[in-house]
Each structure stands twice: as C-alpha cells, then as structure tokens.
Amino acid sequence: PAAGARLIASPPPAVHPAPDPEAQHDPAIARAHFDAGMNAKARGDHQAMLDSLIASAEMGDSDACYELARLLTDGSIVVRDLDTARIYLDRSAELGNPEAIRVLAWNHLRGDYGVVDLQKGVNLMQQAALQSVRAQRELGMLYANIYKPHLSDPVMAEQYLMLAAEAKDGEA
C-alpha cells in the first residue's frame, strides 16, 4: 500500500439508503442521532456511526448528510460511492449547509460532474461565503488568481480576503 494508506481488515460497509427529502422529523432528535454518530466515529465504532448518521440524515440533518457525503467520497471507512455521496452532498446543500455548498461550488468550478460550470460554481461559492469563513477565503483566492480557475478581480479578492481575515482566518 502507498505511504499513509489505511489497511482495512474487512471490507468497509456500504451506505444506504439515500436521504429522503420529504421526511419531516424533530430536529432535536436528528441532532441527537448526529451527535451519537460522531461520538461513535471517535470511538471507532463505524457501524454505530453509520446507523446514527443515516438516521439523522433521513430526518433532514444537514451536517449528517454532509458527513455521509464526506465518508462516501473518501472511501476509507465505508465503500466509496460517488453517486450516493453526491445525493447526500446535494441534500446537505439544499438544507443550507455552507460547507456542502462550498464543496458543490468547487465541484462545478473543477468540472467534477463532467463539465466546468464557472457561473454556477461562483454563485454557489458566493452563497457559501455568506456563512463560511473558509468559503470567503477560497473565493478571495479565486478572485486573486491564487486558485484556479482564475477569476481575475482584485477588488473582489480584497473584499473576500478581508472578510475572512476579520473573522480571524489565519490563511487569509
């Protein structure tokens, strides 16, 4: 295996089902499931983590949807499944998760869905930057031509980097 690669004694579990956008549940119960899932993750209890995160995601918790998308994209704890990851990421973004929106922005900016959609990527990154300091920094760096695709707008670069710096972002 490559340096830093994790060996898994048994195959990682698959994650199913995808979130139900029509599900209406108590947000406090959904959050309790999310917290239980993250505690199980910290203990290394991956099955309990998945059970709790899936329950939380099915109840409409944006953080649970985002975490499942991250796990499915990474593939080290669960079976890598980019199609299901995208479903969870889209659902998390629909629920207003700024980090999910930021990741979707990058996916469109890079063309991860088959075509580069610069306008959609910028619009999503601007939306994420309303709540995410990281998105502010990254958008500033895109406008400053530090990140590709170069957006070439020094005024916007300064604006977003100043917002991130004022929020104590050390990289801004």
Give the model confidence (pLDDT) of 77-98 as tens digits. 888 989 999 999 999 999 999 9
Quote the pLDDT of residue 9. Answer: 33
Report in angstroms the alpha-carbon separations of 13 from 17, 23, 76, 81, 88. 12, 24, 10, 11, 17
Quote the pLDDT of residue 172. Answer: 83
Low-confidence ranges of the chain (pLDDT < 50): 1-12
Report in angstroms the alpha-carbon separations of 135 from 44, 115, 148, 155, 167. 30, 22, 14, 17, 12
Q: How many H-runs (helices) and E-runs (strands) does the chain carry? A: 8, 0
Quote the pLDDT of residue 45. Answer: 93
Residue 105: how many CA atoms within 13 Å on its side-chain side? 24
The pTM of this model reads 0.83
Quote the pLDDT of residue 91. Answer: 94
Quote the pLDDT of residue 6. Answer: 37
Quote the pLDDT of residue 79. Answer: 87
Quote the pLDDT of residue 111. Answer: 95
139 sits in the region (left: phi over 0; alpha: psi -120 to 50; else beta) called alpha
Nearest to 73 by CA among 48, 103, 43, 49: 103
Residue with tokens 């031509």: 145
44 sits in the region (left: phi over 0; alpha: psi -120 to 50; else beta) called left
Quote the pLDDT of residue 78. Answer: 87
Q: CB of 34 within 8 A of CB of 54?
A: no
